[in-house]
Amino acid sequence: MTDRIALVTGASRGLGAALAEALAPTHHVIALARTTGGLEEVDDRIQAAGGAATLAPMDITNEDALAHLCRAIFDRWGRLDLLVHAAIHAAPLSPAGHVDARDWDRSIDTNLRATGRLIALAEPLLRAAPAGRAVFFADPRGGQKFFGAYGATKAAQEALVASWRAETQRTGPLVLSLAPRPMATALRARFFPGEDRAPLAAPRDEAARLLPEILVETETG
């Protein structure tokens, strides 16, 4: 059993779930998502492959729950080797002047505020690891028509991550922003219903493609 620890958010489906499974051979995976059933299915697959996971069924916008989880990570392991932040809220497509107020709030809370809180809580845990790193995912929808809520909050998230990356170049942790290829996920289906999904990458294949880039410093550090 590995002694390296990885926290994966959005781990119940899509790329988050695929990466949780891909990391399990080299890490103890802490899988965070709102959907308990999806997390349990991921856990079953990880265990069937000989890995181990700790399930964290919670809403990432719940600041108290997130703080409790990070404290529990510190109490049990004293560090976090890898953070993979795949959780995202995809508000329905809408003209900019007609975005529902609840969708605005949920987009801001999930895509921006929760990311900032996660950075603040995870940074000391990552710095306590020999080669801690954090991985985020770019999706440049800002300015595209009907992507107002998602595009604006995702762009703000990416700006926050870029600032953190610049600030930690000398001190660590290493911060990465990766660009997945278009995938056949539920999130993309919400944005592009009726799209031909045959050319799209499978999340499992995309996780395998991204994994070397995610692990290179962890393996050699």
**Is residue 90 within 8 Å of residue 191, measured between CB atoms?**
yes
Indicate the pTM of the whole model: 0.94
The domain segmentation of the chain, as residue ranges, is: 5-213
Report, at the CATH architecture level, how domain 5-213 is classified: 3-Layer(aba) Sandwich (3.40)
Rounded distance, CA 189 to CA 169, Å? Answer: 36
49 Cβ contact list (under 8 Å, min separation 6): 21, 24, 25
Q: What is the DSSP letter of 133?
A: E
Residue-wise pLDDT for 184-211, tens only, equals 998 888 889 888 999 999 999 999 999 9
Tokens of 149: 């809520």
| Mean per-residue pLDDT, 62-85 | 98
> What is the band of 162 on the pLDDT scale with cuts at 50, 70, 90?
very high
| Per-residue pLDDT, 29 | 98
More confident residue, 1 or 81: 81
**What's the chain's Rg over C-alpha atoms?**
17
Confidence label for 73 from pLDDT (cuts 50, 70 and 90): very high
pLDDT band at 221 (very low <50, low <70, confident <90, very high): very low
Please state the rounded mean pLDDT for residues 78-84: 98
Q: What residue type is 62 in one-letter code?
A: N
pLDDT over 90 (residue 2): no
